[in-house]
A and B are shown apart, each in its own frame.
Chain A
């Protein structure tokens, strides 16, 4: 044992005149605890943001696996194979539609411009009608074949789904600890190769039908009757050309079908591309469900574009007016009013759109003096334009308030210096004030965009809810078409889907896309403000 000197005694605490006793709990004073409590609350925003991400992923992540199975069965059960033929008949339908459109134009010309009675018009169009009938009949044998094959592959797919359900049943029984019942569940194995044999065996029949179809079609094109109005002849020629091109494409389809194998693998990335670039959102269909976000994304973007096109000039214009031009009295009146507009609940605006604005805009579009506008007149009451106008009313207050703030932040000295140099008020506004606050104005517009993209009730009620990519060929007239949007589809379908199904998960992935989009817009707005901030002072 080594003797050690006792440790040095700590110095006695100093004696203060006023002493405060501090309660300590887990080493924290009361003040520390309170601080920690408040700090914890400040963290809530971060936690909520993280939780949103986690739960969207948690519910949505399974989608990609399920969609891959969905795509695999599409291939393995031969649905993809039959879709080659389906596309061929669909194209023919498009040509028939072109023909009936042509007839409609002809009838319009004859009845409205030449004021001929209807039976005379019908008589004049008799040879054309006969041709159209023959034209649409050419596809019938092919269509019969298609419907046979459709039935057969649907049967294969149903079989597969039944086995999937059985497997799930057995898994659940096992999980519940009932192995005997689980063994009783019979699971058939499906050998796709044998199941598909009769379908692939129909290829020679298909080739024969298709060639016959092509021969008839081309032969028919040589005897096209001419239309009474010469101005429609170019359209007829175009139809001929289209039909010839169509028939010329048949060998390529044959080659594709010959090369097709049901064993082609579905790579993992295809489930992502099928979602991000898929052109169809088709659910609960008897044939094949598609989950492609493109029609919804385009719908959302188009509606937002219309809304911003209206809201940016109005919102920024109003901000400039109120901040720079208006008298103080006018300012005091306008600002609360615009703030008041921002308090309008969106569902009330949506209702206004259904009850009043949709009808009013349609009537306006049918005025003859407005017929120069693209897409006017139109007949769908609820469309991009209706929703866009209402969303503009939602975006204006946001843009106005933020842009006005930005204008307000321009130092007085800038304005005074500009006046001192002899600039007029307009020159000062356009050359000094607006450029100096441009970053703030742009970020205001971006935040307005974020507001509009995320808005649900107005687009759900007023955008028309047609899930299809609108027709861009007519240029700006696209704004008079109905669309469906990302926010709208979630609100509409979430209440009806089965929990855990692929459709349910797909909606969560759409939500995730929306979430990421809103974060990106926000990020861009902040970046612009910071990056292009004028160094003032």
Chain B
């Protein structure tokens, strides 16, 4: 809208004022983006020093594939040396004189974060499976079967309110119900259900949106041909809604992977030697606690001092975690934009 085309022209001063205020809005917007970029770049730049190396294979495989260890720093023959726990023990066996050398040590600062990555992946896969089963079914009922009424309004209200419940309250609930009342202790299963219930509103809302986007004609055509309701839904609604449901639910995955508070007392261990598949019986698999990336970040950033040695593992973990979450989020956003353009009825 060009001001010059108005019959009643605004004065130059007013226009200048208007432009100044618009610039203010623009500044606010870009300031937010700048802050986000600052956080991201800080972690990206400092974390990439841990995760990447200058020589082939360019990726720090030790960091990604080993368990956390304590870091020992000591002076030996005039040189400063840093060693992980196991390496240091081997070194002491080789050089018995090193047994009494004065060392500085920091827990979790050497080795890698492999068990945390595994734990996070297990938590995400399990809880999203539960959440998708429950959430998609609920959305099908709400969108396909339910008629508006007091009951449905009540259900919708519950979903809306569930979305606003703080994550730490879900943690308390999971602790009270799964860990103590059901006696599952700190376990994968307890973490799965806690996280699944937390993300349920996101999945239901996303699935409903996708179901709504399928045109009514699809259903009517199918029903008119004599299909039952379930046949209609299975053959003519779900296939078209499924891509949308999955992509929107990816945002839920980002949320599940990113939350720390609900798993603090339900599923996460500070440290655990065994990897999740080192179990005697299959049943034990579900009742074991795991290490998880977000909880590991919390532990390394609050329980050990900040210095050059510990910074590597702190930033490295944050980088890997942020990278995973960012990957999930970006793919969700891109896929959704792609689908929006593809499915137009």
Contact = CB atoms under 8 A, between A and B. Distances in A.
A45 B201 contact: yes
A339 interface: yes
A31 B228 CA distance: 8
Given A337-B36, A338-B33, A456-B166, A44 B134 contact: yes
B22 A31 contact: no
A499 B176 CA distance: 10
Nearest to B261: A456
A48 B162 contact: yes
A215 to B, nearest CB: 52
Interface string A115-127: 0000000000000
A34 to B, nearest CB: 5
A345 interface: yes
B301 A354 contact: yes
Contacts of A499: 180
B39 interface: yes
A518 B28 contact: no
A523 B164 CA distance: 10
B168 A511 contact: yes
A457 B297 CA distance: 10
B259 interface: yes
B330 A45 contact: no
A52 B6 CA distance: 60
A426 B25 CA distance: 11
A511 B302 CA distance: 23
Interface in A282-335: 313-315, 317-318, 320-322, 325-326, 334
A45 B204 contact: yes
Interface residues on A, range: 35 or more
Nearest to B228: A31
Contact of B165 (A42, A352, A515): A515
A454 B325 contact: no
Contact of A313 (B7, B28, B134, B141): B28
A48 B270 CA distance: 28
Interface in A420-458: 422, 424-426, 447, 450, 453-457
Contact of A495 (B39, B142, B177, B265): B265
Interface in A32-67: 34-35, 37-39, 41-46, 48-49, 51-52, 55-56, 58-59
Contacts of A314: 28, 31-32
Given A318-B25, A424-B14, A345 B158 contact: no
Contact of A426 (B22, B201, B257): B22
Interface stretch (A72-80, A235-243, A473-481, A486-494): A486-494
Interface in B168-187: 168-173, 175-177, 180-181
A336 B334 CA distance: 9
A393 B39 contact: yes
B32 A38 contact: no
A31 B166 contact: no
Given A30-B230, A45-B158, A526-B160, A321 B28 contact: yes
A289 to B, nearest CB: 20
B322 interface: yes
A494 B32 contact: no
B26 to A, nearest CB: 6
B345 interface: no
A341 B33 CA distance: 8
Contact of B164 (A45, A320, A450): A450
A39 B36 contact: no
B3 to A, nearest CB: 7
A378 B77 CA distance: 44
Nearest to A428: B1
A328 B266 CA distance: 45
A354 B264 CA distance: 20
Main secondary structure of the interface of B (DSSP, over half): helix
B326 A340 contact: yes
Q: Which of B175, B226, B314 is the most central at the interface, judged by chain A CB atoms within 10 Å of its CB? A: B175
B185 to A, nearest CB: 12
B119 to A, nearest CB: 14
Given A45-B201, A454-B168, A526-B160, A494 B265 contact: yes
B145 A456 contact: no
A71 interface: no
A339 B333 contact: yes
Contact of A456 (B7, B260, B315): B260
Given A30-B230, A426-B21, A337 B298 contact: no
A13 B236 CA distance: 32
Contact of A41 (B40, B134, B322): B134
Contact of B197 (A41, A48, A453, A526): A48
B113 interface: no
A220 B134 CA distance: 76
Contact of A58 (B39, B133, B176): B176
A84 interface: no
Contacts of B264: 491, 494-495
Given A317-B29, A352-B318, 4 more contacts: A42-B146, A336-B337, A341-B32, A346-B260
Nearest 3 A/B pairs, CB to CB: A454-B166, A345-B258, A41-B137
21 contacts: A38-B145, A42-B142, A44-B134, A48-B162, A49-B158, A52-B170, A322-B29, A325-B22, A326-B26, A340-B326, A348-B321, A350-B301, A355-B311, A422-B6, A424-B10, A454-B164, A456-B167, A494-B265, A515-B169, A523-B161, A526-B157
Interface of A: 18, 30-31, 34-35, 37-39, 41-46, 48-49, 51-52, 55-56, 58-59, 313-315, 317-318, 320-322, 325-326, 334, 336-341, 343-352, 354-356, 393, 396, 400, 419, 422, 424-426, 447, 450, 453-457, 460-461, 487, 490-491, 494-495, 499, 507-508, 511, 514-515, 518-519, 521-523, 526
